Amino acid sequence: MVRAHRLNPDITGDVLSDPKVRLRIDDGRNFMTMSSKKFDMITADPIHPRITGVGYLYTSEYYNVLKERLRAGGIVTQWMPLYSVSKRSFDVALRTFFSVMPNASFWYVRGHGLLISTADEFRVDYANLADRFNHPAVRDDMGSIGIKRPEELLGHLLMDSEHIRKYLSESGDSLMNTDDNAYLEYHTPFEFLEKTESIVEALLPHAGWNIEKILVNAGPGVRDRVSAARSQRRARILPELSEPIH
């Protein structure tokens, strides 16, 4: 990956040339377990849990390690696959994360999920978000996936913690992925043909988030624009799954 990065600096933003970047090639879970450092942001982007050993990056024990390494006001993000995984396995993964990170929110982008949790209550400072969109690097990165305005980004926020809790409570299950049971590692390899649609169709009736509570520093008309973007995004979720990616 490092060699590939050197060959594609325009795609990667030549991030390794940034003096603030320190590259460490290591076992991520062991590093976090043994480290005493605290971090403002921890992003976990493991590959699919069906791959041998990867399921241990989706366990409650691992999430507790991440939680301990987070500074006050910090953020944890976790990629969540919605393809080649059954609804039950998805629920197990979501429940496991949420059991440790109760301030979680679930974001959805075309067949992929992203769990974001904060050490404190989850809030979005709209003024700060809009300011970030004025930075060319941020604007270009967001534009590359079709997001041109802050409200369009917020349209991808599918569920806040309240809606996640309700969704999980109605599942009638309590199973979690742990180091001992390795549920995801042993079950997801048999779910290769499972479709994203089955999970999305189960999530959509529970989609929603409290815009008045979560969105702060939003000027006149902002909440209306965010609500409109949210409705437009939700209407596209199922149709786009059958469309080719350009």
Q: Is 62 within the bounds of a domain?
A: yes
The position carrying tokens 């926020």 is: 157
* DSSP code of residue 171: T
Domain total in the chain = 1
Q: Within a domain: residue 240?
A: no
**Tens digit of each residue's pLDDT, the chain (246 residues):** 888 888 888 888 888 899 999 999 999 999 999 999 999 999 998 899 999 999 999 999 999 999 999 999 999 999 999 999 999 999 999 999 999 999 999 999 988 999 999 999 999 999 999 999 999 989 999 998 889 999 999 999 999 999 999 999 999 899 999 999 999 999 999 999 999 999 999 999 999 999 999 999 998 899 999 999 999 999 999 998 887 765
Q: Is residue 129 part of a domain?
A: no
Please report whether residue 87 resides in a domain. yes
Spatial separation of the C-alpha atoms in residues 227 and 209, rounded to whole Å? 10
Cα–Cα distance, 16 to 24 (Å, whole number)? 11
Picking from 108, 78, 115, 111, the residue whose alpha carbon sits closest to that of residue 198 is 111
Give me the CATH number covering residue 166: 3.40.50
Q: Is residue 4 part of a domain?
A: no
Measured CA to CA, the distance from residue 32 to residue 15 in angstroms comes to 22
Q: Residue 241 has what pLDDT?
A: 87
3-state secondary structure of 197: helix
**CA-derived radius of gyration, the chain:** 18
pTM: 0.93
In terms of residue numbers, what domain contains 76?
36-123+158-211
Please give the structure tokens belonging to residue 114.
Answer: 């992203």
The answer to whether position 232 is within a domain reads no
| Residue 24 in domain | no
Report whether 163 contacts 210 (CB < 8 A): no
Question: What is the predicted pLDDT for the residue at 55?
Answer: 94
Tell me, what's the pLDDT at 9?
A: 83
pLDDT at 39: 96
114 domain residue, yes or no: yes
